[in-house]
Amino acid sequence: MEKKSPLLAERIHYRSVATNMTFSAELLGKYNHTAMLSAVKRLPQIHPILNINVVQEDDGNIYYTYGKHYPTLRLYSEDTRVLIKVESKRSFSLKNECLLRIFVQYYEDYFSVVMVAHHIMGDARSIMILLNDLLELYGGKSVEAIDEPVLLPLSDQFPEEAKLSTRQQFYVDYLNTKWKKEKRLFSDKEFDKVYSKFYESHDICFESLCLKKDETNVLHSKCKEHKVTITSALAIWVLRSIYETLSDFFSKDMQVNIPVSVKKEFNFIPQRCVGNYCSNISLKYTYKEMLDFWEEIEWFHEKMTQKLNDNKEKYMSLNMMMAIDGSLQDAISFSTFGDFDSLIAKQMAELFNVSHSSSNIEISNVGQTSINKLIGKNELRDILYIPPRDLSNILTLGVIGFHDRINLCVVYDAAVIPKSKITDLVNSIMKICN
């Protein structure tokens, strides 16, 4: 029987042109295709959210609908980096197909697994859970099934201090009222046109770098000494490197966006549940040339901690997404990258910092992976997280900890910043690290 659930926190991803997130894992040992096929078929039984599609009804609301799906599994022969780049811009049919794709390339003594998911199904930490459970099933382990989906509650069930201020609510009501006069729903055909147009003029690429064991140990030690987080340290590393290498592309005053999980704050959401449970905090930053490096990290950490401890700040982005008319959120892509001419849609894009000339950056840190290193007869050798290049940022840094090292991935638009300049950025980050 078909089952429906209205979507609010997920709506911002419905008509976005940058939604595909990717994890790439490399394992030592012989590849067992029969075991992988079995794991892929079992995964939707463990995570029923893999059976969902997304439809829009006449009232403009969107819903999960239930069918029966298996993720696609394809063996590939091209370079892994080429595959990831191609898949990062290949759209999903939200109405018809499973929103997870799995790719495998194998050699005699090792193999790679690439997992690509649509953001409307879950945030990055959730997709990492899917990768963990896929590999556990592949290795022959039993994995407990989860009752999904579990959506975030309505915003009126958020902590009292997390609710929108009177001024913020007034602005949301203003946007919704203005939009009601010109409200329209966009078709799949219209979205496909905007999606194609976007990727005709944008070249989304990525560069990865690794902090090895010694470098990671030093970073952990210094962060502990200065009582700061890895995210704070990496943010200043990247910001300083930007000003050394990419000053032509960024203003001196910048905004740093950091996704923040609120999953643990709701006891009814199982921790292995897949879904969108992130809000976002933003910090203004101005380059301080004379400030000591670790003093600057301490300053950034203090500002970040203040925002994280303030529920109004921490929930504001999520509150806005849940309160603003969903079809108006859809209009952002059509107004910014298509031919839809609407003043209220442009105001909406400005509110969410979506533009052709953004100089914001995002630090998306999924933390230390809990995936076991031993997978049956295989050994997990490496893992990389490639986030989507969020349209409110000119550059996104994906961060994942793996045993004794930290892997970083810089996602950027080569049509805006040349690859040679990103190479300079990566070299500068490593120089600061060393």
pLDDT per position as a tens digit, 216-246? 999 999 999 999 999 999 999 999 999 899 9
Give the domains, in start order, of the chain with CATH numbers.
5-138 (3.30.559.10), 155-433 (3.30.559.30)
Indicate the pTM of the whole model.
Answer: 0.95
pLDDT for the residue 111? 98
pLDDT for the residue 156? 78
pLDDT for the residue 358? 67
Query: What is the C-alpha separation between 420 and 426, in angstroms, rounded?
Result: 10
**Contact between 304 and 319 (Cβ < 8 Å):** no
pLDDT band at 154 (very low <50, low <70, confident <90, very high): confident
Least confident of 56-60, 299-303, 417-421: 56-60
pLDDT per position as a tens digit, 79-101? 999 999 999 999 999 999 999 99
Place of tokens 């298996």: 70
**Contact between 119 and 388 (Cβ < 8 Å):** yes
